Structure 1
Amino acid sequence: MPHSPMPARNEPTHPWLTGLLWAGLTVAIFAGWFVVTRFSVTRELRLWDVTALRFGVGALLLSPALLRRGHRLPAARWGEGLLYACLWGLPFVLLVAFGLQRTSAGQAAAIAPTLMPVFAGLFAWVVLKELQGRLRWLGHGIIVAGIVCMVAAGAAAHGMADPLGLAALACGSSMWAVYTLLFRRSSLTPVQSAALICVWSALLFLPVYVLGGLSRLGQASGAEIALQVLYQGVLMSGVAIVSFNRAVALLGPAAASAIIALIPAVAALAAIPVLGEWPAPAEAVALACVVGGVLLSARRAPSIPTTHGDRTP
């Protein structure tokens, strides 16, 4: 009598639930990033300092994963890591930073993460021929409508947002979406991908940061620097990237990226006690719409029974 197949040793027994837990951890860290970064850049540090700490500390912590004896990566994997660093490393952070300068922390938190699942679903549909389903398309539409409402509410309360800032945030979202689709087919582990992103980003940015005299670390307090080292270098560059990669591997890029769109709601709640920033009623309604769109977008994509002459996407 044949035995039932046993789960692989390193595979979770309930991958969907495990993936949700990884995605939830990622949401918490990313939402806090907007609040913590906003806290510092309105004081002594600048986004250049935050970027240097994020990738510099992350590279120091994660580079041993690339240099272990007997487990060194071939050159092709380093090239793949450079591509990932260009998609979700230094350029992504700089685009979001530019968007933060041109708009606001609340708008950046609402636009960059929430547009990402929309781009991921669109790219997967166009390039990979993956079905989305009516409910998922409806969720994408609600997310976009919610973002439009938030921008309109912000314009009514604070003036029109800078189009260049909005475009930078949208561009960063599209790059993040491409990364989620590519990583699903990668042979790199989540830790290796995170390490390559940090190492390549540090190599590209730190010489400019040092030689260009961009540092303001000497003007900040030790406590503030320690907070940024912990959050940017450890949580953002290490834990968040690994947890997001695990969520993508277990849930798929569309579902994982849709759950990540909950970031603005969590960030808005965290900003109330930390920054004293209360969302306007119209912004709260728009956030609720985005959350509804997220729940629809996070549904599993429909599958088509395999028949003669058909091929499963």
Structure 2
Amino acid sequence: MSELVHSVAPPAARSREALLGWAAALATVTIWAVWMIATRHAVTHDLPPATVGLLRFAVPALALAPVVWRKGLFPKGLSPLAGIGLLGSGAPFFLVVAYGMQSAPAAEIGPLLPGTMPLFVALIGWAVFGETVARLRLAGFALILIGVVCIGGLGLLHPEGGAWRGHLLLLGGACLWGIYTHAYRRSGLSALHAAALVGTWSAMLLAPFGAATVIDLLRGGLAGPVLLQAFLQGLMSGVIGIVLYGFAIDRLGPSRAAVVSPLGPVLATMIAVPVLGEVPAPPALFGLAAASVGVLLASGAFGRARP
């Protein structure tokens, strides 16, 4: 229905909707960059992944509880497959990515996570929903793969370091997010309702594993890191980021909503140098550039995928 309304809307209204969509996508990518650095710092210093994950989803679950109360925890019309696809972006996505961040350097997280999300969005669209892929987008996919190989090359040459495990987990997280993107678009839910459901479902899954640790940390004098992660993970990423991403998908479509994701790796790398002291190696820098250009081409910036 939203696509039909969009198709008959006047040009001025469509331009305004597109501008709002691009603004939401840019804001989402900025939140992602901060989230990546905050998560890597947390899981490599003070907090275990399950605890960080609970903080990530408990805040949106509480903040958006009225939405779930009003519309239900299992909405009518939401298919089981769509529900599983939505949940995949919650606790499973976070745990896979958090454990990956324990092994992969911060500068490599950006290209391997948001950098490859449009690749998985497009591949799922082609394999499952029959979207055609133009040659220019195929060239973008090739550049993304080249970038991933360059980024992961050092880890593959030195497997004893374990970075390759982080690379695989981050790619798995990107695939889960690609599934979520298509599941959300076909769920019929609003961005706020989807964020409320994902937060509530995930908080219930993680509570048995992370609640006791959160209490112990608060008693042990680590209230500062806990509250900081609750703000960055729960409010910024868990509520504002998810809602903005859904807003962008509604107005731009899945592929075009992902077009600004190359900014994520760039921002994450820029933040990681002064905050974590992690300077990427030359091959990783080349991979970062190749993956960023590849995402720009593959995500449909210069053409629209045809069903």
Shorter-chain TM-score: which interval? 0.7 to 0.9
Alignment of 1:231-310 (within 5 A): 231-300=232-301, 302=303
Distance in 2 of aligned mates of 1:126 and 1:14: 32
- 1:81 and 1:193 in contact (8 A); partners too: no
Q: In the alignment, does 2:49 pair up with 1:47? A: yes
Shift of 1:118: 1.0
Shift of 1:227: 1.4
Counterparts in 2 of 1:157 and 1:280: CA distance versus 1, 3 Å:
farther
Shift of 1:220: 5.1
One-letter amino acid of the counterpart of residue 30, structure 1: W
Which of the pair is proportionally richer in helix? 2
Alignment of 1:47-196 (within 5 A): 47-68=49-70, 71-72=71-72, 74-77=75-78, 82-153=83-154, 161-196=162-197
Structure 1: give runs of 5+ residues left out of the alignment. 305-311
- 2:115 and 2:292 in contact (8 A); partners too: no
Counterparts in 2 of 1:135 and 1:270: CA distance versus 1, 3 Å:
same
Distance in 2 of aligned mates of 1:17 and 1:213: 41
Match of 1:15 in 2: 17
- 2:33 and 2:264 in contact (8 A); partners too: yes
SS in 1 for 2:186: coil
From the CA coordinates, give the structure whose radius of gyration is larger.
1
SS in 1 for 2:168: helix
Counterparts in 2 of 1:241 and 1:175: CA distance versus 1, 3 Å:
same
One-letter amino acid of the counterpart of residue 280, structure 2: P
Q: For residues 175-215 of structure 1, give each alpha carbon's deviation from its aligned partner in whole angstroms, at most 9, with x where no partner exists.
A: 11111112112210000000000000011110232368995
What is the count of residue pairs matched by the alignment? 298
Shift of 1:103: 2.8
SS in 2 for 1:102: coil
Distance in 2 of aligned mates of 1:195 and 1:80: 18
Counterparts in 2 of 1:88 and 1:220: CA distance versus 1, 3 Å:
farther
Counterparts in 2 of 1:158 and 1:269: CA distance versus 1, 3 Å:
farther
SS in 1 for 2:40: helix
Distance in 2 of aligned mates of 1:161 and 1:15: 45
Distance in 2 of aligned mates of 1:269 and 1:199: 33
Shift of 1:95: 0.6
SS in 1 for 2:130: coil
Distance in 1 of aligned mates of 2:46 and 2:303: 50
Match of 2:3 in 1: none
Match of 1:309 in 2: none
- 1:58 and 1:198 in contact (8 A); partners too: yes
Please identify, of 231-240 and 205-214, the stretch whose mean Cα deviation from structure 2 is larger: 205-214
Counterparts in 2 of 1:80 and 1:116: CA distance versus 1, 3 Å:
same
Q: For residues 2-32 of structure 1, give each alpha carbon's deviation from its aligned partner in whole angstroms, at most 9, with x where no partner exists.
A: xxx7659xx7642332222111111111111
Shift of 1:86: 2.8
- 1:44 and 1:219 in contact (8 A); partners too: no
Counterparts in 2 of 1:15 and 1:144: CA distance versus 1, 3 Å:
farther
Counterparts in 2 of 1:218 and 1:156: CA distance versus 1, 3 Å:
farther
One-letter amino acid of the counterpart of residue 14, structure 1: R
Distance in 1 of aligned mates of 2:221 and 2:293: 40
- 1:33 and 1:231 in contact (8 A); partners too: yes
Please identify, of 114-123 and 89-98, the stretch whose mean Cα deviation from structure 2 is larger: 114-123
Counterparts in 2 of 1:258 and 1:145: CA distance versus 1, 3 Å:
farther
Counterparts in 2 of 1:303 and 1:274: CA distance versus 1, 3 Å:
closer
Please identify, of 153-162 and 170-179, the stretch whose mean Cα deviation from structure 2 is larger: 153-162
Q: For residues 290-312 of structure 1, give each alpha carbon's deviation from its aligned partner in whole angstroms, at most 9, with x where no partner exists.
A: 221122123357569xxxxxxx6
- 2:140 and 2:293 in contact (8 A); partners too: yes
Distance in 2 of aligned mates of 1:215 and 1:85: 31
RMSD: 2.9
- 1:85 and 1:198 in contact (8 A); partners too: no
Shift of 1:152: 1.3
SS in 2 for 1:236: helix
One-letter amino acid of the counterpart of residue 127, structure 2: V
Counterparts in 2 of 1:139 and 1:214: CA distance versus 1, 3 Å:
farther
